[in-house]
Structure 1
Amino acid sequence: MVSVCGRYQFTAEQCAEILQIIQDVERRHGAGAWTPGEIRPTAVAPVLVSSEKGIHSELQSWGYKMPGNLVINARAETAADKPMFRASVASQRCVIPSTGFFEWDSQKRKYLFQLPGEDMLYMAGLYSIRDGKPCYCILTTSANDSMKDIHHRMPLVLKREQVAPWLEQPKAAGDYLRMTPPLLKKTDVEPQLRLW
């Protein structure tokens, strides 16, 4: 089965939330510890986590490394029942901040999906420590009407006000695993081919 959300975007636009995350990462890891832009599996990128210090950003690698495989997504509907994800659902939830995610249609045309009227798009995720290094995966769910014509799955998108409950409240997090994500704006990002 083809993975959904195989790439997403984190661009350094003049957005207060983005700048705050970038500054937090640079304070913790130093300038140049990672590069904003199009994020691909295995890349190191910021995720939001909760600890006794509150909600903060950490740099983690995208994907759980398995023998001969890299797991970049987990199905929201079944993650709590799967041995690979059960502990993460219980106590290692994260949020992947982005400025949108990419998906390709059956003709291999690339589209950018964003929240209408918002600079940020937050995706629910899980993290784990594997081979001594933190890594994350993105939770996916059934596609809503804004995504169905491109793919049957989509990331579990959180609204801004759902970020803290997802990270800090197990009951709310359990409810979010079953919710339908908000509708998204779709933009064709492929250059238009001119025949004349």
Structure 2
Amino acid sequence: MCGRYYVDDETSREIKKIVEELDKKLGNTSAKAKTGEIFPTNDAAILVAKGSKIEPDILKWGFPNFKNKGVIINARSETVFEKPMFRTSLTSRRCIIPANGFFEWNANKDKIYFTPQNENIMYMAGIFNLFENESRFVILTTSANSSIEDVHDRMPLLLTENQIEEWVFDDMRTSTILKQTPYLLNRKSDFEQQTLNLF
């Protein structure tokens, strides 16, 4: 599962560039992508296809949950083709959610922050759709790898930078990417951060 992620446009050159491109494209409109800790229903910067190019846009995180209140924020990669709510989006509206890392909570309710080992940005696979004239996205999840499985049994479906265009444009690669195991991650807990700050 992925219920919270983090975007830092100050230290991440790639994300800063995405935010700057959005500001330039949107001009002085009221639309603004949230940075810092991103919660469900926040407006966030994502990457989508615009013709033959991949460009940043601002979408709301979460599909409306018509059965109950709230929103659906994740879709399971193993069953996404089978679900009517997600099937069309998967075939024609795939997107990328850039982040510095994401949060997960363990059985003791400790908040743990997961980040890439060798980069300062991660690319999460997503899909989007239009609901009452509002574009919204969800993050695809997959089985947890060894760097997170002791904390949670799910994690975002992570893409390498080389897979961005494949995920967005190449329909023949979709099924293969859905089955891949994400790369390993670093972790840091809130408790560890607080301990470090004491000394």
TM bin, normalised by shorter chain, reads: over 0.9
What SS does the corresponding residue of 2:46 show, helix, strand or coil?
strand
Deviation >4 Å, runs of 4+? none
Displacement, 1:53? 4.7
What residue identity is the alignment partner of 2:124? M
Aligned to 2:14: 17
Matched, 1:100 2:101: yes
Aligned partners of 2:81, 2:27: CA distance in 1, in Å?
35
Matched, 1:27 2:24: yes
Aligned partners of 1:174, 1:29: CA distance in 2, in Å?
34
Which runs of structure 2 are paired with 1:12-161 in the superposition (5 Å)? Answer: 12-30=9-27, 33-67=32-66, 68-161=69-162
Aligned to 2:3: 6
What SS does the corresponding residue of 1:34 show, helix, strand or coil?
coil
Aligned partners of 2:115, 2:169: CA distance in 1, in Å?
25
Superposition RMSD on alpha carbons, in Å? 1.7
Give deviations 1:136-162, integer Å, cap 9, x for gaps.
Answer: 000000000001000000000111111
What SS does the corresponding residue of 1:80 show, helix, strand or coil?
coil
Aligned partners of 2:118, 2:160: CA distance in 1, in Å?
12
Q: In structure 1, list runs of 5 or more residues that go unmatched.
A: none
TM-score with structure 2 setting the length: 0.91
Aligned partners of 2:11, 2:181: CA distance in 1, in Å?
30
Aligned partners of 2:12, 2:184: CA distance in 1, in Å?
22
The 10-residue stretch of structure 1 (32-41 or 150-159) with the greater mean CA deviation from structure 2: 32-41
Give me the identity figure in percent: 38
What residue identity is the alignment partner of 1:11? D
What SS does the corresponding residue of 1:85 show, helix, strand or coil?
helix
TM-score with structure 1 setting the length: 0.92
Q: In structure 2, list runs of 5 or more residues that go unmatched.
A: none
Kept in 1: contact 2:19–2:33 (CA 8 A): no
Larger helix fraction of residues: 2
What residue identity is the alignment partner of 2:49? S
